[in-house]
Amino acid sequence: MPEVLRPARGTKLRDGGAATPTRMPGWLRRPVPRGPQVERVRRTIAHHSLCTVCESAACPNRLECYSSGRFTFMILGDICTRGCAYCKVAVGRPLPVDQGEPERVAGAARDLNLNYAVVTSVCRDDLPDGGATQFARTIQALRDWNDHIMVEVLIPDFRGSLSELQIVQNAHPTVLNHNLETVPRLYRQLRPQGRYEWAIELLDRAKSISPDTPTKSGLMLGLGERDDEIVAVLEDLRRVRCDVVTLGQYVRPSLDHYPVQRYLTPDEFSWFEAVGKDMGFSQVAAGPLVRSSFAAAAVYESVHVSRNVCHEAESGRLSCEDRRCQ
């Protein structure tokens, strides 16, 4: 554990220890970015008849990301087969797989001159392969356009099927991300169709298949988890050699969704960041407005630089006391 004092909680406590959320705190409020780049991204996505998780999930950072030309493609449509209590993506019976979608993703990437693309999907439990082939085809389409483009994929759990993971890994994504989202105790309540064990096994297997491909996962905080449970999840992620973790504040997308149980302060996020770094993660992005794909390219670059430093240390060209090299 790092030498960091645990900050006081940012919310009051009810009898029994349950947190009482107050009004949304000021640190979650930001000016709304405007400008031509925001409209350029939106027009390009619409022109290619594509979806972004930024819009479908009502991400609070979406306009800030758009203003910098960043966003996350959401493939396999905009209707999910699961109904997580915190997610705004529509739930229902999805349409058939759009075979032209991978090429349109590549077309949008070309029009926006992307050098780092992030691709996620709805859950498609209705498909035999869970959508894995569409992920692989999308990676390939992007590489057909630009063989130097970096592609980060944020994949579903494929219901614990490792053969679907292998399909995605065979396409050689730059980064493989799968979010745990919350602590094991809350899965039945918040992610009833998911399993914590599936998620951890997927990340473990991903590292076994491709040890040099960075793996990544994320948690939303403020859903009712305890601090010791967060630390335990971080330990699980390090046990399966996960390289990058993101920690952000859960913000209720509508009154129909699961209520916020507490708002963590920026100091609390800094504490968890220090805990994660002390455990040996290559990168920990922690803060109230951090999301899984927020500034994904910058996070990857920091991991890449860190790995180069470690490799040079191991070869004797640098002196390195970083515990990740030990």
Q: What is the pLDDT of residues 47-68, one digit of tens each?
A: 999 988 777 666 766 767 777 7
- Exposure letters 27-42 (e unless 16+ CB within 10 A, then b): beeeeeeeeebbeebb
Per-residue pLDDT reduced to its tens digit, 73-112: 999 999 999 999 999 889 999 999 999 999 999 999 999 9
Per-position DSSP letters for 280-294, written without gaps between them:
T-SEEEESTT--TTT
Q: Pick the residue with more confidence: 23 or 319?
A: 23
Contact 199, 178 (CB under 8 A): yes
Per-position DSSP letters for 71-97, written without gaps between them:
-EEEES-SEES---TT--SEES-PPPP
Contact 11, 67 (CB under 8 A): no
Position 293 scores a pLDDT of 78
Position 16 scores a pLDDT of 34
CB contact set of 127 (below 8 Å; sequence gap of 6+): 76, 97
Name 246's bridge partners: 218, 285
Average pLDDT, the chain: 86
Q: Tell me the average pLDDT across 302-307.
A: 64
Position 113 scores a pLDDT of 94
